Amino acid sequence: MRKKVIFKGVALPYLLLLPQLIITGIFFFWPAGQAIYGSFLREDAFGLSREFVGFENFADILADPNYLNAVSNTVIFSSAVAFSALGVALFLAVQADKAIRGADFYKTMLIWPYAIAPAIAAVLWLFLFHPQIGLFGRFLNGIGIPWDYKLNGGQAMLMVIIAAAWKQVSYNFIFFLAGLQSIPRSVLEAAAIDGARPARRFWTVIFPLLAPTSFFLLVVNLVYAFFDTFGTIHALTRGGPGQSTTTLIYKVYVDGVENLNFGASAAQSVILMALVIALTAIQFRFIERKVHY
């Protein structure tokens, strides 16, 4: 039975919607419109001369090997971050869900990193991985493994993946733990009575029942890796060496803010915007259809 509140007239409902509409308009539609408009222009940094160039900015970007490099970096980076963050979080959540002494303490510790700002987290990792001052970096060099993320693109990528994934583990952990706790004990007990060993119980009972949570987290993690990892990359590698850790969002920043090339930056933002819209649409579709809590 759905309860419906009926307003008399149209003025009041619109008035109540107005604050939200204004916020959406100012902080979303207006800048988005500006970005779309800007992506068709080519102008100098000071905005004194501008030229309408149609789709030229888009054509230039898509023909630029550095942009394509950023696309492949983003694919590698995002999938690695999402899968490692999900895998580790799931493992930890399953362990924390068991009846162990001091479970609350572990849980608190595991959730903690989420409250750390990306740039600060990056600095912490820097102290671990820096080849000269970092604990881990010095150790690696000491045992004869040449570790220098400032010159080795693969190592730089590995480092930003670890730093970005670590930060997301906490978030995933909370959701997985909640998901695990909502699985009825009776189902698990029934499986145990039927003779299913823990590993089998996990893969045949727990994992499928966690699927909605996992799918939701997968989308959230991908969006995180795409858009929220700017601070981590900026503090750790600044997109280098070469451009081996430049992702799409980092390139938008470099071209727009550092290089003051607004047209190219706006065009890249528009492409990214299309991507988010697609991701969100997929998420809603699947979650609406497949999820049965």
Partner 1 sequence: MIRRMLMAGAVALGLAGALPATAQQPVEIQFWHGLTQPNGGLLEQIAADFNASQNRYRVVATFRGSYPETMVAAIAAFRANTAPHIVQMFEVGTGTMMAAGRAIKPLHELMAETGLQVNFADYLPAVRGYYSLRDGRMMSMPFNSSTAIVFYNKDAFRRAGLNPDQFPETWQGVEQAARALRAAGHQCPMTTAWPTWLMVEQFSAIHNIPLATQDNGFGGLNAELAINNPLMLRHLTNLVNWQREGLFRYGGRDTAAEPLFPNGECAIIFNSSGYRGRVQRESQFQWGVAMLPYYNDVQGAPFNSIIGGASFWTMNRGPNAQRSAEELRGVAEFFRFISQPQVAAKWHTDTGFLPVNRTAYEQVRATGFYSQPQNAGADIPIQQLLRGGGQMTGNTMGIRLGGFVEIRNIIQEEMERAFQGQQTPEQALTNATNRGNQVLRNFERQNRGG
Interaction site with partner 1 (CB under 8 A): 42-49, 51, 132-133, 150-153, 238, 240-243, 254, 257-261
**Nearest distance, CB of residue 234 and partner 1, angstroms:** 12
Both tokens of 111, joined, read: 């959730």
C-alpha neighbours within 13 Å on the C-beta side of residue 289: 6
**232/261 with CB nearer partner 1:** 261
**179/256 with CB nearer partner 1:** 256
Which are the contacts of 220, defined by CB distance < 8 A and separation ≥ 6? 171
**46/293 with CB nearer partner 1:** 46
Amino acid identity for residue 171 in this structure: Y
**Nearest distance, CB of residue 123 and partner 1, angstroms:** 14
**Nearest distance, CB of residue 152 and partner 1, angstroms:** 7
**47/195 with CB nearer partner 1:** 47
**Nearest distance, CB of residue 32 and partner 1, angstroms:** 19
Which of 127, 138, 136, 217 lies closest to 178, judged by CA? 217
Q: How far apart are CA 73 and CA 231, in angstroms?
A: 16
**Nearest distance, CB of residue 241 and partner 1, angstroms:** 4
**18/62 with CB nearer partner 1:** 62
Q: How far apart are CA 107 and CA 29, in angstroms?
A: 40
Cβ atoms of 236 and 167 within 8 Å: the answer is no
Cβ atoms of 123 and 234 within 8 Å: the answer is no
Both tokens of 155, joined, read: 């190592």
